[in-house]
Amino acid sequence: MKYAFYPGCAVHHSSKEYGESCRAISKALDVELAEIPDWSCCGAIDAVYSYRPLSSIALVARDLALVEKMGMDVVTLCSACYYTLNRTNKLLKENSELKNKVDAALSSAGLSYSGNVRVRHFLEALITDVGLQRIKERVKTPLTALNVASYYGCFLVRPQYLTSFDDPEHPKSLDDLAEALGASKVEYYGKIRCCGASLQITDEKVMLEMSKKILLSAKDAGANCIITACPLCHFNLDAKQKAIESKFDVKIDLPILHFTQLVGLAFAIPPKDLGLDKNFVVPNKILLQYARSVA
């Protein structure tokens, strides 16, 4: 299985460990990821779109034109990129006036895009193409002692006109994956609530309040860890957890793993290759026990 790979700025910089763990488990599952040569930023949901809609669409159309040359589906690790790329595809398909403008801009750079690239989230590709059965077969250390709270966030499951591989109200893809790895799933309030990623820079107070609700509800439900499928969600829940603890004077201490890291642990891939040392919240005893069993 081979895909064009769109890492996105977050995975490229501030969430390197997500990319590292993704590559490690892809190797173990014989999934080949070919990074798009010279990909550019997608414009991050509405960061560019709210200011310059046409430019933001042309920016992504360039990336999609590059993928089209490669002749493969494109997968991304970031839910925000997943949304932005899919939105561009939809707008170009539905709005011919817009498409003409974008085509003109692309042709000034010698590019063209006919709209035939399928944009997928790496999680979706893993579950639908590789299949839970094959993942199960590859598990070396079943994570039986773990209670995993799956955090879906926003763009993996919403809006429904762009993504339909999971239910927007009761998603289960991450839960199914966690169970395939031998872990138990945890039901909790915050699993589809927004973490406030797009407000991280401009409205930190609001963002901290939003992420706090997710963390506390998972902890109250008895989770030993949370898994995420987006670098922005992970950043808020993990790297900002200390800020949340001190702002609201609560003790949370809940490890947050990229779902790829959890898969890697069950596959007995060395923690270093999964970038576990780059996470902010120190792994708890149960996680360490699995990590050490590999080392």
Which residues in this chain contact another protein in the complex, by CB under 8 A? 9, 12-17, 37-41, 43-55, 58-59, 62, 101-102, 104-106, 108-111, 154-155, 158-160, 168-169, 192-194, 196-199, 201-203, 205-207, 209-210, 213, 239, 243, 277-278, 280
> Of the two residues 87 and 138, which places its CB atom closer to another protein in the complex?
87
Between the alpha carbon of residue 191 and those of residues 14, 83, 152, 184, the distances in Å are 23, 18, 6, 15
Instruction: Name the region of 91 (left: φ>0; alpha: ψ -120 to 50; beta: rest).
Output: alpha
> Of the two residues 50 and 114, which places its CB atom closer to another protein in the complex?
50
Tell me the closest approach of the beta carbon of residue 225 to another protein, in angstroms. 19
Query: What tokens appear for 72 in the block?
Result: 């493969």
> Of the two residues 67 and 178, which places its CB atom closer to another protein in the complex?
67
Tell me the closest approach of the beta carbon of residue 47 to another protein, in angstroms. 4
> Of the two residues 141 and 280, which places its CB atom closer to another protein in the complex?
280
Tell me the closest approach of the beta carbon of residue 66 to another protein, in angstroms. 9
Tell me the closest approach of the beta carbon of residue 186 to another protein, in angstroms. 20
Instruction: Please choose, from the candidates 277, 274, 270, the residue with its C-alpha nearest in 3D space to the C-alpha of residue 295.
Output: 270
Per the CB < 8 A criterion, the answer to whether 23 and 30 are in contact is no
Instruction: Please choose, from the candidates 295, 289, 266, the residue with its C-alpha nearest in 3D space to the C-alpha of residue 140.
Output: 266
> Of the two residues 110 and 285, which places its CB atom closer to another protein in the complex?
110
- Cα separation, 286 vs 262, in Å, equals 12
> Of the two residues 210 and 256, which places its CB atom closer to another protein in the complex?
210
Instruction: Please choose, from the candidates 259, 266, 257, 264, the residue with its C-alpha nearest in 3D space to the C-alpha of residue 284.
Output: 257
Tell me the closest approach of the beta carbon of residue 150 to another protein, in angstroms. 17
> Of the two residues 44 and 123, which places its CB atom closer to another protein in the complex?
44
Tell me the closest approach of the beta carbon of residue 61 to another protein, in angstroms. 8
Per the CB < 8 A criterion, the answer to whether 273 and 26 are in contact is no
Tell me the closest approach of the beta carbon of residue 91 to another protein, in angstroms. 8
Between the alpha carbon of residue 240 and those of residues 74, 260, 283, the distances in Å are 30, 20, 16
Between the alpha carbon of residue 33 and those of residues 14, 108, 118, 126, 269, the distances in Å are 20, 29, 15, 12, 18
Tell me the closest approach of the beta carbon of residue 170 to another protein, in angstroms. 12
Per the CB < 8 A criterion, the answer to whether 79 and 259 are in contact is no
> Of the two residues 185 and 240, which places its CB atom closer to another protein in the complex?
240
Q: Which helix (H) or strand (E) holds 79?
A: helix 79-94
